Amino acid sequence: EEIKVIRIEDVPHFVGQTVKIGVWLRQKRGSGKIAFLQLRDGTGFMQGVVVSADVDEALFKLAEHLKQESSFYVTGEIHEDSRSSFGYEMAVSAIDMVGESEGYPITPKEHGTDFLFDQRHLYLRHQKPYATLKIRDEIIRGIYDFFYQDGFLKFDSPILTDSAPEGTTELFPVDYFDQTAYLSQTGQLYVEAGAMAFGKVYDFGPTFRAEKSSTRRHLTEFWMIDAEMAWMHQEQSLDVQERMIAYLIQRVVDNCQTELEMLGRDADKLRSYTKLPFPRVSYDDAVKLLQDNDFDIKWGVDFGSPEETFLANYYKTPFFVVNFPKAIKAFYMKRHPTRDDVVISADLMAPEGYGEIIGGSERDTDYDYLKQRLIDQHLDLKEYDWYLDLRKYGSVPHSGFGLGLERFIRFVAGEDHIRETIPFPRTLNRLHP
Ligand code: 4AD
Ligand code: MG
């Protein structure tokens, strides 16, 4: 009878049966009598055991000489194994070599982070990137599901643009025939047009910022979700945002137990962040709180990482900072009804010092006001003619927000650095591999 070829994730269904799996060798150890093979196949990790007394000499020799990251089919009977976290292992009875591997660079010893990211194309095979990128996948699918269930239309905004809605200093220019185009910083302006056509829309794609800052939370290429809702004020937008965040965290807690364990991320702690509503603190009150705690911060400046970390430790859950100073926010944010110095905006801050994960606002609806704001911010009116049109033809209240995917993953997975959260990170100092 033909032996069934399966994947490691299906192993629990084959206890007591002999199966065949295509695998790579992560590591091995053993004595002259027994070889323990640490195997992986992309769906999971398991141990194969080769006992010299049970197999012919050639197989045992082969097992003992397998090199790290060589690939082969392994055949054997599946047993329960209460000592391993996976719970199963294979008693190996045959190995069919597929690909040799000589001098694999990422050895079991400790390596520096720079080295690991120089080897990112190989490092992806290891447990930490595996766990983080599985969580990324779960979150991505969760985002599509959330918006679908909530009645949003997926509305893809362009990546090549002629505008700089989030400021002109962080642009990547590209030659575009006889003019200059820029890689998109945010799809927001386009999803605003989409919201006037479809009511509730979102985009989800790569965005680019030529940030010269080399920090634990900045990428030059990152993925953003821009959501935009017509006929919605800021309070309703905050409701959507917190429901989305709680839903995504719950998905990861429910579906990524193994991965959270691999990363040493406490699932109970994550679960505690799904309690709604999230606190809302005004920028004014946040500044007061910081000043009362000996921060040397003046009203009107943006928070830095130390300020955000202090506030995060104070609230111990995700929280919104609302109504930032107008002078440090983008031109499109809605005016406050009674104050001239702040706008109807909100940043969602993650706990534990992971910092801002969402930026959003209600959008101003008035043609003349927005035109003046563009002029004040030295933006080119010609590039925004179509955007201003949205205020000419049936302008309605609308609000939206942008979630930084990698910022959010960094927080959920508990990663030290944002570069861990994307397959091939792009930063100030890295374009290769
Ligand atoms: O706060 P930002 O700049 O907001 C906007 O771009 C709005 N137009 C979004 C909207 O209202 N539709 O960026 C949104 C989010 C930030 O909160 C952060 O999570 C992430 O994008 N982000 C970055 N992530 C990684 N690397 C960077 N350099 C980032 N810059 C922003
Ligand atoms: Mg922001």
Q: How confident is the model at residue 125 (pLDDT cuts 50, 70, 90)?
A: very high
pLDDT of residue 311: 97
Q: What is the dihedral of CA 321, 327, 332, 337, to 10 degrees?
A: 70
The CATH class for the domain spanning 4-99 reads mainly beta
pLDDT tens-digit readout, 213-256: 889 999 999 999 999 999 999 999 999 999 999 999 999 999 99
Cα–Cα distance, 185 to 175 (Å, whole number): 17
pLDDT of residue 113: 93
Architecture of the domain whose range is 120-421 = 2-Layer Sandwich (3.30)
Cα–Cα distance, 397 to 276 (Å, whole number): 25
Cα–Cα distance, 360 to 126 (Å, whole number): 36
Residue 208's H or E segment, with its range, is: strand 200-208
Higher pLDDT, 295 or 31: 295
Classify the C-alpha dihedral 285-291-296-299 as positive or negative. Answer: positive
CA of 6 to the centre of ligand 1 (A): 42
Q: Which ligand is nearest to the CA of 220?
A: 1
Is the omega angle on the peptide bond into residue 108 within 30 degrees of 0, that is, cis? no
CA of 357 to the centre of ligand 2 (A): 8
CA of 116 to the centre of ligand 1 (A): 27
Q: Of 148, 207, 137, which is closest to residue 172 (Cα–Cα)?
A: 207
Which atom of ligand 1 approaches the CA of 358 most closely? Answer: 17
pLDDT of residue 213: 84
Ligand 1 atom 15, closest CA? 404
pLDDT over 90 (residue 422): yes
Which atom of ligand 1 approaches the CA of 360 most closely? Answer: 11
- 173-176 sheet: strands from edge to edge: 160-161, 179-183, 173-176
Q: Are strands 200-208 and 153-154 parallel, antiparallel or unpaired?
A: parallel
pLDDT tens-digit readout, 342-398: 999 999 999 999 999 999 999 999 999 999 999 999 999 999 999 999 999 999 999
Average pLDDT over residues 84-110: 96
pLDDT over 90 (residue 130): yes
Q: How confident is the model at residue 308 (pLDDT cuts 50, 70, 90)?
A: very high
pLDDT of residue 144: 98
pLDDT over 90 (residue 98): yes
Query: b vs e for 325-334, b when ≥16 Cβ sit within 10 Å of the residue's Cβ?
Result: bbeebbbbbb
CA of 134 to the centre of ligand 2 (A): 26
Ligand 1 atom 31, closest CA? 404
Cα–Cα distance, 363 to 335 (Å, whole number): 8
Ligand 1 atom 28, closest CA? 218
CA of 131 to the centre of ligand 2 (A): 28
Ramachandran assignment for 296, one of left (phi > 0), alpha (psi -120 to 50 degrees), beta (any other)? beta
Percent of the chain scored above 70 by pLDDT? 100
Q: Which ligand is nearest to the CA of 302?
A: 2
pLDDT over 80 (residue 1): no
pLDDT of residue 31: 87
Average pLDDT over residues 85-106: 97
**Crossing angle of helices 234-255 and 405-413, rounded to 10°:** 50
CA of 290 to the centre of ligand 2 (A): 19
Average pLDDT over residues 277-282: 98
Ligand 1 atom 2, closest CA? 359
Point out which residues pair with 74 in neighbouring strands: 21, 95
Ligand 1 binding site (Cβ under 6 Å of any ligand atom): 166, 186, 188, 209, 211, 218-219, 222, 224, 226, 356-360, 400-402, 404, 406-407
Rg over CA atoms, the chain:
26
pLDDT of residue 163: 83
Q: Is residue 284 within 8 Å of residue 153, measured between CB atoms?
A: no
Provide the 10 A C-beta neighbour count for residue 260: 21
Ligand 1 atom 24, closest CA? 404
Q: Of 242, 277, 271, 245, which is closest to residue 256 (Cα–Cα)?
A: 271
Ligand 1 atom 7, closest CA? 402
* Annotated domain spans of the chain: 4-99, 120-421
Q: How confident is the model at residue 85 (pLDDT cuts 50, 70, 90)?
A: confident
pLDDT of residue 102: 97
pLDDT of residue 166: 81
Average pLDDT over residues 324-333: 96
pLDDT over 90 (residue 84): no
Q: Which ligand is nearest to the CA of 214?
A: 1
pLDDT of residue 169: 79
- 221-230 sheet: strands from edge to edge: 153-154, 200-208, 221-230, 398-404, 355-363, 345-350, 319-322, 280-282
| Half-sphere exposure in the Cβ direction for 38 (13 Å, CA) | 13
pLDDT of residue 205: 98
Point out which residues pair with 204 in neighbouring strands: 225
Question: What is the separation of C-alpha 381 from the centre of its chain, rounded to a whole number of angstroms?
Answer: 34
CA of 4 to the centre of ligand 1 (A): 48
How much is the pTM? 0.97
Q: Which ligand is nearest to the CA of 208?
A: 1
Which atom of ligand 1 approaches the CA of 209 most closely? Answer: 28
Which residues have C-beta within 8 Å of that of residue 382, sequence separation ≥ 6?
A: none
Average pLDDT over residues 320-341: 97
CA of 363 to the centre of ligand 2 (A): 15
Q: Is residue 398 within 8 Å of residue 363, measured between CB atoms?
A: yes
Ramachandran assignment for 290, one of left (phi > 0), alpha (psi -120 to 50 degrees), beta (any other)? alpha
Q: Is residue 116 within 8 Å of residue 128, measured between CB atoms?
A: no
| Most informative mutation of 168, 212, 222, 305 for ligand 1 (most atoms within 8 A of CB) | 222
Average pLDDT over residues 75-99: 96
pLDDT over 80 (residue 120): yes
Provide the 10 A C-beta neighbour count for residue 349: 27
Q: Which ligand is nearest to the CA of 403?
A: 1
| ipTM computed for the complex | 0.99
Average pLDDT over residues 119-123: 98
Q: How confident is the model at residue 151 (pLDDT cuts 50, 70, 90)?
A: very high
Q: Are strands 173-176 and 179-183 parallel, antiparallel or unpaired?
A: antiparallel
Point out which residues pair with 18 in neighbouring strands: 77
Which atom of ligand 1 approaches the CA of 408 most closely? Answer: 19
pLDDT tens-digit readout, 152-182: 999 999 999 998 878 777 999 999 999 999 9
Q: How confident is the model at residue 134 (pLDDT cuts 50, 70, 90)?
A: very high
pLDDT of residue 222: 98
